[in-house]
């Protein structure tokens, strides 16, 4: 069994990694931890490509964040591998899940909800409505 878990360095994503780690340990699954890098400046009103030197810096940061996020997987001796990829996070998670023939996608929920989520969208919302894979959305800590 293969579990794909999305992480972006946030507390919500870390809860998803921890949940995936416990689940994988219990059922003998392999985890693929995914960090997706947007190819445009997030605050730009239109798509503006990232300069190569900034792209290199963002990739280094992504690898470092992914390494840190995977501590629960190392601590439980769960077999795992990491993927740093490009693009929209929901699409990237679905693409990796397809490539890995994953049984499950796990993501965290930041708890924004309401109008902001309707306007901006969210990774969990997009996955729940568009993927053919089973999805677990780990709620925020109370």
User: Does residue 121 fall inside a structural domain?
Assistant: no
User: Does residue 66 fall inside a structural domain?
Assistant: yes
Per-residue confidence (pLDDT) for residue 121, from 0 to 100: 47
User: Does residue 119 fall inside a structural domain?
Assistant: no
**H or E segment to which residue 106 belongs:** strand 104-108
For residue 94, give the CATH number of its domain: 3.40.50.620
Per-residue confidence (pLDDT) for residue 46, from 0 to 100: 57
How far apart, in Å, are the Cα atoms of 103 and each of 2, 68, 89, 113?
6, 24, 18, 27
Per-residue confidence (pLDDT) for residue 2, from 0 to 100: 98
Per-residue confidence (pLDDT) for residue 120, from 0 to 100: 40
Residue 38, domain extent: 27-111+131-142
**Consecutive sets of 10 residues in the chain, 142 residues long: mean pLDDT of each?**
94 95 97 86 57 76 93 94 91 96 93 50 83 92 74
Per-residue confidence (pLDDT) for residue 122, from 0 to 100: 83
User: Which long-range contacts (C-beta less than 8 Å, at least 24 apart) are formed by 51-59?
Assistant: 59/84
- Do 15 and 6 meet the contact criterion of CB atoms below 8 Å apart? no
User: Does residue 15 fall inside a structural domain?
Assistant: no
User: Does residue 137 fall inside a structural domain?
Assistant: yes
Q: How many structural domains does the chain have?
A: 1
For the chain, the distance separating the N- and C-terminal CA atoms, rounded to the nearest angstrom, is: 30
How far apart, in Å, are the Cα atoms of 48 and each of 36, 44, 52, 97, 105?
17, 7, 12, 28, 30
User: Does residue 93 fall inside a structural domain?
Assistant: yes
């Amino acid at each position: 069994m293969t579990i794909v878990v999305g992480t972006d360095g946030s507390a919500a994503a870390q809860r998803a990694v921890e949940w995936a780690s416990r689940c994988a340990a219990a059922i003998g699954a392999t985890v693929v931890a995914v960090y997706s890098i947007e190819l445009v400046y997030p605050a730009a009103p239109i798509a503006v490509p990232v300069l190569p030197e900034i792209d290199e810096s963002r990739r280094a940061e992504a690898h470092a964040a992914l390494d840190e996020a995977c501590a629960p997987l190392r601590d439980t001796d769960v077999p795992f591998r990491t993927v740093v990829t490009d693009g929209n996070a929901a699409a990237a998670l679905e693409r990796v899940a397809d490539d890995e023939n994953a049984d499950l996608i796990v993501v965290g929920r930041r708890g924004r909800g309401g109008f902001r989520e309707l306007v901006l969208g969210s990774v969990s919302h997009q996955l729940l409505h568009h993927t053919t894979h089973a999805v677990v959305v780990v709620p925020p800590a109370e």
